[in-house]
Amino acid sequence: MIQWANKVKYLRLYFCSISGNLDVSNNVRKLYGQYNNIRTVLGYGTHEMSVVHLCKVYCLPALMYGCENWHLQNKEQNRISVAWNNCFRSIFNCCWRESINPLQYFCKILPINYLIHQRKLLYWNKLFTSDNSVLFTLSRLVSQRFVAVGYMYGLSSIMSAGKQ
């Protein structure tokens, strides 16, 4: 007898079995776990920029794993954004009501939504310029999704490439 599962795991990503939407709770859990490891090893009196650098190098890849192919609902986008922002609030000892956008700006880190779009565009560009015919064909099939991201940022080269 086969049992029913609420989530299906495929390539370290979890999908809800009923809706097929991506469940990012595992990515968020890994972010918090790695962030807590960094804070435990370094302590809470450490230079903030060192912690920011370590979070960018170790925590961000865990949070953004597979983001090149994500199609997130608003709820899941918000969940990822809150998790990343909470790391900054903890590092700089901010209140939850304060915006962390100035902190990210001065730390030279883009907000998480921009980072996701950046990785999507770079991934699509690799597919689109690939010598592999399978990858090239795949890039043509999903080009409309990436052209829409290109329009958001006024990237004419992305937009013209997607129309070919």
Please compute the mean of the pLDDT values over residues 75-90 and round it to a whole number.
Answer: 92
pLDDT at 71 over 60: yes
- What's the whole-number average pLDDT of the chain? 83
Element (H, E) at 14: strand 13-16
Q: What is the dihedral of CA 88, 91, 97, 98, to 10 degrees?
A: -80
**Is 60 exceeded by the pLDDT of residue 164?**
no
pLDDT of residue 89: 92
**For residue 162, with 0-12 CB atoms within 10 Å meaning exposed, 13-18 middle and 19 or more buried, which class applies?**
buried
Q: Kindly indicate the confidence band of residue 159, based on its pLDDT and cuts at 50, 70 and 90.
A: very low
Share of the chain above pLDDT 90, in %: 33
pLDDT over 70, % of the chain:
90
The answer to whether 58 touches 38, Cβ cutoff 8 Å, is yes
The predicted model gives 70-96 an average pLDDT of 88
With a threshold of 0.85, does the pTM exceed it? Answer: no
Q: Residue 29 has what pLDDT?
A: 93
- The 8 Å CB, 24+ separation contacts for 83-89 are 83/28, 83/31, 83/32, 84/31, 84/60, 84/112, 85/112, 87/31, 87/35, 87/55, 87/59, 88/52
Q: Compare 132 and 150 and report the one with higher pLDDT.
A: 132
pLDDT at 30: 94
